[in-house]
Amino acid sequence: MARPAVLTVDDDPEVLLSIERDLRARYARKYRILRADSGLGALQVLKRLLERNEPVALFLVDHRMPQMNGIETLLEAVKLYPEAKRVLLTAYADTEAAIKAINDVQLNHYLLKPWHPPEEHLYPIVDDLLDDWYASYRPPFEGVRVLGTRWSPKSYEMRDFLARNQVPYEWLDVDAAERVPEVRRLLNTFDGHTPKLPTVIFPEGERLEEPAPHDVAAKLGLRMRAGLEFYDVAIVGGGPAGLAAAVYGASEGLKTVMIEREAPGGQAGLSSRIENYLGFPSGLSGSVFARRAVDQARRFGVEIVSPQEASSIRAEDPYRYIRLNDGAELSCHALIIATGVQWRKLGIPGEDRLQGAGVYYGASSTEGISCRGEDVYLVGGANSAGQAAMYFSRFARRVIMLVRGPSLAATMSQYLIDQISQTENIHVEPRSRVLEVHGEDHLESITIACDASGDTRREPAAALFVFIGAEPRTAWLDSVVERDERGFILTGRDLLPEGKRPKGWTLAREPGMLETNVPGVFAVGDVRHGSIKRVASGVGEGSVAIQFVHQYLSKI
């Protein structure tokens, strides 16, 4: 953590060096002593400090300076650091200026030059001021800051990206500038330039305006390129199934790479609470699950490439090749596809326009606090919707679950049904659906149809979260890997209708249980046809797949 700064300003080089020397002699261990030879120079220093979110404890400014005198300098300085203490250096003839400064900038003290000896005329005054400042000092956040607006889809995308990649960040909403001084002060550092939002500000002060996630990933040092050209096993997808395959593969000595499109953890990483996972009687959050699994994978030497997306595969025995979106290609002997699924859309008017601006797919922990005191709607009746309802009930005034079926019993675990029924601000509306969402730049209301009564109504809504099943993202496998009519990957016995072998299969044996129509290419987790959509089953399939990989490798 950066030490708080003490900034002294004087246009006389000898005086500036003298005051800096005296301050360093007493305060350098606890504070950084900075200097500037003009008011304009001082403001530039302060803007750089503010960009890096570094604190300033004290201004000690000479009054008689050209261009900007001491009072003018302090007037601008306190706009950036209003909590900093203020001392004006004056000559005997400037006492009227000191009185003016007391009125204009709430001056804490003025010092007559010369101040020697400092033990009598400088240190007692500065000691008291710094003690007062430190008593109310709260260390600033150290890390990435995101400046944006709540209703901007790009701002939401950036917050979601950072949260899913376990990157601590501070969210600064420009719409709150009037009531949040920190946001207002930060905007002042742009010198009249209106930043493109979102703007990501890094700890060292560098800014990226309206960046894509991969730009931020590169700046943060996330690995976006594979370190090798060849691996024993490559895994595409970093959800529970992919992470399990990576851990077991690497722990058993296979050179392993995992390629993840967004962030390790998949949809499970977004879950607010997983309460029925074996070995965790108190449950665990999706983010904790993802973080622990990633730590475990890295400990065994898994190379995690993220955010990065596979665009195609091809087989040239004995190798399997994966082409990435950036044009790079890597090869492996065995390939495991664990890309999971994505939430389906409602297919209603206004949905695309308001996506990321009040309409969201899945539950994002980044939106919880933003919904404080508001009405939140959830569409869906499975476990994921129930877990989200419990999470948002901690913040929202009301959480309304819209369920197409007659009740939750057919689609949700009983433990979640019990929790929901005991939570006063969660309301379940069975046999209901959303017909339309309304709002210009953000969601304002939704139209709901009640199938039981045939009535429709329009209700104000701050946020709508959609959990209506999922569909695989497997178009990139066209003409190579066989899939069912919905796009889920066929494996094992599902490839053998009426006992016939899959098209293009050249081996004497039949495809293994998790093997696709391409020998050495396996599919696990939610992307696989017939899979059980549970975290535990995904982990099980990912770990079992490694045994099939070993069998395949032993015969090539």
Residues 444-465: tens digit of each pLDDT: 999 999 998 999 999 999 999 9
3 state SS of 530: coil
Burial class (CB in 10 A: 0-12, 13-18, 19+), 21: exposed
For residue 257 the two structure tokens come to: 């790479």
Considering the domain delimited by 144-220, tell me its CATH architecture.
Answer: 3-Layer(aba) Sandwich (3.40)
Contact status, residue 262 vs residue 158, Cβ threshold 8 Å: no
Confidence of residue 23 (pLDDT cuts 50, 70, 90): very high
Report field, pTM of the whole predicted structure over 0.75: yes
- The strand pair at 303-305 and 256-259 is best described as parallel
Q: Is 57 helix (H, G, I), strand (E, B) or coil?
A: strand
Q: What percent of the chain has pLDDT over 90?
A: 71
pLDDT at residue number 93: 66
Least confident of 142-151, 284-293, 412-421: 284-293
Residues 529/497, Cβ–Cβ less than 8 Å = no
429-443 pLDDT, tens digit per residue, is: 999 999 999 999 999
CB 458 within 8 A of CB 445: yes
pLDDT greater at residue 147 or residue 90: 147
Average pLDDT, the chain: 92
User: What per-residue confidence (pLDDT) applies to 104?
Assistant: 86
Give 88 or 275, the one with higher predicted confidence.
88
In this model, does residue 55 exceed pLDDT 90?
yes
Query: Backbone dihedral region of 499: left (phi > 0), alpha (psi from -120 to 50 degrees) or beta?
Result: left
Among the ranges given (137-151, 197-211, 289-303, 424-438), the one the predictor scored with the smallest mean pLDDT? 137-151
Tell me the pLDDT tens digit for each residue of 310-350: 999 999 989 999 999 999 999 999 999 999 998 899 999 99
pLDDT band at 151 (very low <50, low <70, confident <90, very high): very high
Domain 230-342+472-553, architecture per CATH: 3-Layer(bba) Sandwich (3.50)
Residue 120 pLDDT > 80: yes
Residue in this structure with the two tokens 């504070």, named with its chain if needed: 31
Residue 175 has pLDDT above 70, yes or no: yes
Residue 25: predicted pLDDT: 95
Q: Quote the pLDDT of residue 470.
A: 80
Q: How far apart are CA 214 and CA 207, in angstroms?
A: 15
Q: Are 267 and 292 in contact (CB under 8 A)?
A: no
Please tell me which of 141-145, 286-290, 394-398 the model is most confident about, judged by mean pLDDT: 394-398
Confidence band of 113 (pLDDT split at 50, 70, 90)? confident
123: which 2 tokens? 């240190």
* Residue of 332, 323, 434, 331 lying closest to 378 (CA atoms): 434
C-alpha radius of gyration, the chain, whole number: 30
Q: Is the pLDDT assigned to residue 98 strictly greater than 80? A: no
Instruction: Check whether 268 has a pLDDT greater than 90.
Output: no
Widest distance between CA atoms in the chain: 104
Please report the pLDDT score of residue 364 as a whole number.
65
pLDDT range class, residue 366, cuts 50, 70, 90: confident
Residue 205: pLDDT above 90? Answer: no
What does each C-alpha distance from 449 to 83, 350, 351, 382, 428 come to in angstroms? 53, 16, 16, 20, 14
Give the model's pLDDT for residue 302: 97
Query: Would you identify the CATH topology of the domain 359-468?
Result: FAD/NAD(P)-binding domain (3.50.50)
Fold of 5-135: Rossmann fold (3.40.50)
Confidence at residue 40, expressed as pLDDT on a 0 to 100 scale: 96
Identical fold for domains 230-342+472-553 and 359-468, yes or no, is: yes
Strands (E), 424-519: 426-430, 432-438, 445-450, 456-460, 463-466, 470-472
pLDDT tens string 234-251 = 999 999 999 999 999 999
Is residue 192's pLDDT more than 80? no
State yes or no: pLDDT of 177 exceeds 90.
Answer: no
**Pair of tokens at residue 254:** 């296979």
Residues 6+ apart with CB under 8 A from 256: 231, 232, 233, 234, 235, 246, 249, 250, 301, 302, 303
Averaged pLDDT, 194-211: 92
Which residue has better confidence, 6 or 369? 6
pLDDT at 362: 83
| pLDDT (0 to 100) of residue 1 | 65
Per the structure block, which two tokens stand in for 381? 């009746």
**Domain residues of the chain, as ranges?**
5-135, 144-220, 230-342+472-553, 359-468
